[in-house]
Amino acid sequence: MSRQMGPGKQLMTFLASKVGMRRGVQVAAFILAWGAVARALGHEPTKEEYTVHWRCSQATYYRELAVLKKVWPEDKSPQRRWEWVEANVKLPRKLDSDQAVVALMNASYR
């Protein structure tokens, strides 16, 4: 994944440069929400598992996915990005906390 960002560049800076600050935050939140479901299930969630877990519509899922794809057009889900986060970012156990959001926003690709 090193081709997406230069060494030490913060994820939020990268996302904001691609889709703006508001949508960049949406992408980061989607990755964390996806990760929460993946952790809870112990495997990559399906679209149905994600929407049931968060009690959201498929339309909401597709809107979130569309913003993610503006950053990474080749991605069919946030799974690949989530796997990078799990391997490289020290996140708290509870992903819906403010600390998780701050940790992800400050993360940098290497």
Task: Provide φ and ψ at 4, rounded to 5°.
Answer: -75, -35
Q: Virtual CA dihedral for 26, 19, 109, 86, nearest 10 degrees?
A: 20
Read off the pLDDT band of 18 (50, 70, 90). very high
The 10s digit of each residue's pLDDT in 43-80 is 999 999 999 999 999 999 999 999 999 999 999 999 99
Q: Does the residue 72 lie in any domain?
A: yes
The Cβ of residue 50 has, within 10 Å, a number of other Cβ atoms equal to 25
| Mean pLDDT, all residues of the chain | 84
Q: What is the pLDDT of residue 86?
A: 87
The 10s digit of each residue's pLDDT in 70-90 is 999 999 999 999 998 888 888
CA 10 distance to own-chain centroid: 14
Q: Does the residue 55 lie in any domain?
A: yes
Q: Does the residue 6 lie in any domain?
A: no
Q: What is the pLDDT of residue 2?
A: 36
**What residues make up the domain containing 48?**
11-106
Q: Does the residue 16 lie in any domain?
A: yes
Q: Does the residue 47 lie in any domain?
A: yes
Q: Does the residue 1 lie in any domain?
A: no
Report the number of distinct structural domains present in the chain: 1
